[in-house]
Structures are given as structure tokens and as C-alpha cells.
Amino acid sequence: MTKRIDFQVDPTAYRHWKVSFDGPVAWLTMDVDENGGLFDGYQLKMNSYDLGVDIELADVVQRMRFEHPEVKVVVMQSGKDRIFCAGANIRMLGGAAHSHKVNFCKFTNETRNTFEAAEADSGQKYIAAVKGACAGGGYELALACNHIMLTDDSSSSVSLPEVPLLAVLPGTGGLTRVTDKRKVRRDRADVFCSTEEGVRGKRAKEWKLVDEVIPNSKFDATVVERAQEFAAASTKPDVAEGITLTPLDRTFHEDGSVTYSTVEVQADRAGRTVTITLKGPEEAAPDDMEAFTAQGAQAYMLRLARELDDAILHLRLNEKELGLMVFKTQGDPEAFAAHEQLLLDNAEHWLANEVLQYWKRVLKRVDVTSRSMVALVEHGSCFTGVLAELLFAVDRSYMMEDEFEGDNRPIATITLTGANFGPMPMGNGLTRLQTRFLDDDAALAACAAVKGEALEAAEADEAGLVTMILDDIDWEDEIRIFLEERASFSPDAMTAMEANLRFAGPETMETRIFGRLTAWQNWIFNRPNAVGETGALQRYGSGVRGEYNMERV
């Protein structure tokens, strides 16, 4: 059995990042421990990173928002001399399985998106203060910041050398952000992305690769100045104190199952299926946001989000053969709605906002998870609001109709709330209901008209909220046949099909990164020119160039 990758980390245990605070400005210093790799067989030289480094970064970004709401500007910088960051570690990539590479890239993309969106979502703006070489994934870190400052000296440059050097893509958003965020002219982007040594100084600014180029002698002072300027100009309300993200309450079992306080993950390795059951609240909703804040990380809505997030990440990386995720809920729909309503009613409150933003991110994480996903709306379930969003995130759903013999749980219902009509957009910028009913305004209006009503099967079916409703006679057989069949299909074909069907409608930089860029990178990661014995990734550092089949496909 391989080592379990843990996505929970504690700041006291960080090996690769240092964080310090100066009022509204946080200083985030990347100082990777060469010997702190997640796996054996490589050293993290020159501030290169592996998944372990990124798990810490994701934790920093998450805690910044919950534990340090006073922060308005985060300055990302390097703790090394003459190097900002050399990108993803090549030896790690060269040695990793295809599935690890792909999942690693997905997680790093999610983390980049999270700090990129922090400005719009939470008023925390990330600045990259680049001294030294900023190459490949290092420049992709900077690209996801919303302001890039580059020092003007002979060793400082930005570059995306993946294509010429490694025969792979800058796949952590690099290509997409160069053209679509930075709006670099495409022929210049072509030159930039095929030049190993990158671009520095004035040209980097002229080509829009960075926002500022600053003489080395004035660099540090200018960064401080700029950080203070941005902080002063921020419209983020002042919040004196955050909450602490305490460790999750969870138990891992031998058979792959995991027990959290509100989430039960039940693995069936033989059936290649995992059931994720989310439990409704046991306690009443807090009276107000003061009470909610006092509960902190124990508040139900936050705890549920954290546990679901951790469960999905765990399954993605550690249980790759559980190809089918079955989502269930159990609990009182009205009690759940009350917990959620407190947040929706107080969306201006910093913590309510953060919890809602977090739910948005968790649901997006579900959207881009490469597993077949189904929701079962059983009697006794609470698919309400953000939990109902799961019904529209999964690939299909089944709902129990009428009473089932021997089942005395409350009849299955679905309840739409305000959470389904705006605050949880997908990566394509639409709500899941808008994506579901693309250009069908009548269907959307019909959904809006039943907001707040607990819809039983026939009504939910009529409103188009579930794929299929089944009664006591058909339920068991139909579900069993579906689960068996789905789990027997080629996982690759499923992944690719789902990646196409889930994102109808408009595209955004985000969908393009997960859709187009990722798909091309996955392809590359399967091609002998990159990963074969004489491929560039394998030969990197050997002094011998990759040997390529020169046929264009």
C-alpha cells in the first residue's frame, strides 16, 4: 500500500512556507526545504515544488481568509537568493505515475484559482514580488497573483520553458493566463513560451508579462510601498479577529472508508464505488453571526464544507480506483435550511461571506473531480440549498418516489433556496441551474417559483431537478444495475466524457484551464516524446536532450 496523502496540515508543521503579518499586509515567503519532498527520490532544489509544497500553500491561503481577515494584501516572495521559484519539480514529475501528475496539476490549479479569486471574493489581493529566476510553475504562481513586480537585474526573469526544455506544457494555467489574463499578444506569447531563458527587464513589462519592473536598489522599498497602497485603497471592511481552523475530527479505516463528524465515506473497493453521506445538523442554527463566530470552526455549515472538501481530496489522490461517487444526505431539510439561511441573510458579514465562498469552492472542486458522480435522493434526505447543488453538480440523480415498504423515514424531498440562484456559480460563470437549463428561461422561472418548497418526487421530476424518479418496485434493481454498469466502463472515457458534458454554455479562463489546457497536458503526459525512455521529462538533467518522434499528429 502506498502512503496516504494528507491534505490537512498545521502551520506549526510548515516546511516550505513562512508567513508573517504586518497589519493589513501579510508576507508569504516560499522557502522550500530541499529534503521535505512528499515522496523519496527527488530533492526540491531551487524552490521547486511537489504536491506537499502545494498542500501547505493551499492551507496558507485558506487560513488567510478565515484566521486573518484583517489582511488585505498578501505579498508572495522567495526566501532564496537569485531564484523566485523553479516550478514543479522535474524529477518528481519524471518519476510520478500519470494519474499522480494529473491529480497534482488539478490541485495546484485549484489553489492558484483560489488565491487569484481572493481579491474579488474576500478583498485579499495577492502580489508577486519577483527577485531572481521565476520559471515555469514559478511564473504560473506569479500569473495567478493579481499584480506582478519584477526586479530589474541580470538574474531576474520570467519564463515558461516547459515546451522547449521538457516537451510538456505550462499546464498550471500558464498558457491560458498569458493570453487571456495578461493579454500578451499571441505571437509574443509564442516567442515567450518557446524561449528557455525567458524575458526580463523592460521587455517583460512591454509585453505585459509583468506589471512593474523596478531597479534592484529600489525593489524592496517599492514592494512595501505598493503593498501599503493597495491595502489603503482596499474596500475590504476592517475585521479585528478571525476564527481558528481547528483540526478535523476524522478517522480513516482499513477498507478505505473515513468517518468525519458530519460526513461518512463508505468505500466499496470491490464495486469500485464510494458512498459519501452528508449528515444534516444535529443542533439548531445559531441565532446570529455572533453566535456563529463563537462556534468558529465547529459551526455546522463550515464543518460540513471542510469535511466534504477533505473527503474529496482524499478520494482523488488516495483511492483512485473508486471511480464512482455516490452522494447521499440524511437529515432534516428544514433544520439544514435554517443553518444555511443565517449565512445567506448575513452575506455581508465577513465570516458568513467566507463560509459561502468556501462552499462555492468546494462545489467547484466537485465539478472538476474526475469520477462518475451520482446522487441518490432517498427518504430521510436533506437535499436543500447548497446540498441540492450537489444534485446539479453530479452526472445524474435518482429520487425515491412514494413510500417504500418498511422505510419509515420522512418522504424524499428537494428544496431549492437562495443558494441555488446565484451565490454558487460554476467555473463557467453560470449557476448550476442555468447550466442545466441552458437558454431555457421558462424552466429556470419554474424553479424560482418553487423556491422554499419541499418538492416530492413527481414535482421534482416535473421541474427537471432529477434525472429519474423510481418507486419501491424499481429502485433497488435500477440503482444496482446502474452502479454496476457505470463502474465497468473505461475510466478514461468516463473522465473525458464528463469533462465535456459538465460544462455547457460559456467558457471562462477557469473552464478553459480545466477543460482545454488540462486535456492537452494530459495528452502530452501520455506521449513518448515527454514521458518515454528517451523523452524530455526522463532525460532532464542528464545533459542529453530528449529524442523525439517528429511526426505531427
What is the DSSP secondary structure assignment for residue 276, as one 8-state letter? E
By CB under 8 A, name the one of 495, 510, 539, 540 that touches a copy of itself.
Answer: 495
Q: Which is nearer to a copy of itself, 126 or 437 (CB)?
A: 437
> How many residues are recorded in the chain?
553
Q: What is the closest distance, in whole angstroms, from the C-beta atom of residue 430 to a copy of itself in the complex? A: 12
Nearer Cβ to a copy of itself (39/548)? 548
- Using the structure block, give the residue that is written with the C-alpha cell 484551464: 513
Alpha-carbon gap, residue 379 to 427, rounded angstroms: 31
What character string, x for contact with a copy of itself (CB under 8 A) and - otherwise, covers 283-322?
Answer: -------------------------------------xxx
Question: In this chain, which of 98, 202, 253, 409 binds a copy of itself, going by CB under 8 A?
Answer: 98
Q: Measured between alpha carbons, how far is 143 from 147 in angstroms, rounded to an integer? A: 8
Distance of alpha carbon 416 from alpha carbon 451, whole angstroms: 5
**C-alpha span between 190 and 127 (Å, rounded):** 25
In whole angstroms, give the CA distance from residue 412 to residue 455.
8
Place of cell 531551487: 46
List of residues 6+ apart from 522 with CB closer than 8 A: 98, 102
Question: In the bound complex, what is the minimum distance in angstroms from residue 173's beta carbon to a copy of itself?
Answer: 11
Compute the least distance from the CB of residue 424 to a copy of itself, in Å.
16
Cell of 141: 504562481
Please list every residue from 2 through 31 that binds a copy of itself, using CB under 8 A: none
- Enumerate residues 213-252 that contact a copy of itself by CB under 8 A: none
Which residue in 82, 185, 202, 451 binds a copy of itself (CB under 8 A)?
A: 185
SS3 of residue 21 by DSSP: strand
- Footprint of a copy of itself on residues 384-443 (CB under 8 A)? 394-397, 435-440
- Scanning 368-413, the segments in alpha helix (DSSP H) are 386-393
The minimum distance between CB 187 and a copy of itself, in angstroms, equals: 4
CB distance 26 to 71 below 8 Å: yes
CB of 276 to a copy of itself, least distance (A): 15
Query: Does 467 help bind a copy of itself (rule: CB under 8 A)?
Result: yes
Residue closer to a copy of itself, measured from CB, 92 or 322: 322
Range 27-56, binding a copy of itself (CB under 8 A): none
Q: By three-state DSSP, how is residue 229 classified?
A: helix
Question: What's the rounded Cα separation, in Å, for the pair 444 and 396?
Answer: 18
Q: Which of 46, 118, 178, 390 contacts a copy of itself by CB under 8 A?
A: 178
Q: Using CB under 8 A, pick the residue from 69, 75, 499, 540 that binds a copy of itself.
A: 499
Q: Crossing angle, helix 98-122 and helix 51-67, to 10 degrees? A: 20
In the complex, least distance from residue 523 CB atom to a copy of itself, rounded to whole angstroms: 4
- In the complex, minimum distance from the CB of residue 272 to a copy of itself, in angstroms, rounded to a whole number: 6
* C-alpha 468, offset from chain centre: 29
Q: Which is nearer to a copy of itself, 167 or 352 (CB)?
A: 167
Number of H helices, E strands in the chain: 22, 22
User: In this chain, which stretch among 48-56, 250-258, 334-342, 489-497 interacts with a copy of itself, using CB under 8 A?
Assistant: 489-497
Among 236, 361, 365, 486, binds a copy of itself (CB under 8 A): 486
| Span 360-379, contacts to a copy of itself by CB under 8 A | 370-371
Among residues 81 and 441, whose Cβ is nearest to a copy of itself? Answer: 441
| Cα–Cα dist 199/193, whole Å | 10
- Binders of a copy of itself among residues 188 to 207 (CB under 8 A) are 188-191, 193-194
CA–CA dist 42, 151 (Å, integer): 30
Among 260, 529, 538, 539, binds a copy of itself (CB under 8 A): 529
Report the distance separating Cα 128 and Cα 158, nearest Å. Answer: 12
To a copy of itself, the closest distance from the beta carbon of 442 in angstroms equals 13
Name the residue nearer to a copy of itself (CB basis): 200 or 539.
539
CB of 107 to a copy of itself, least distance (A): 13
Which uninterrupted H or E stretch holds 303?
Answer: helix 300-318
CA distances from 466 to 334, 384, 495 (A): 20, 13, 22
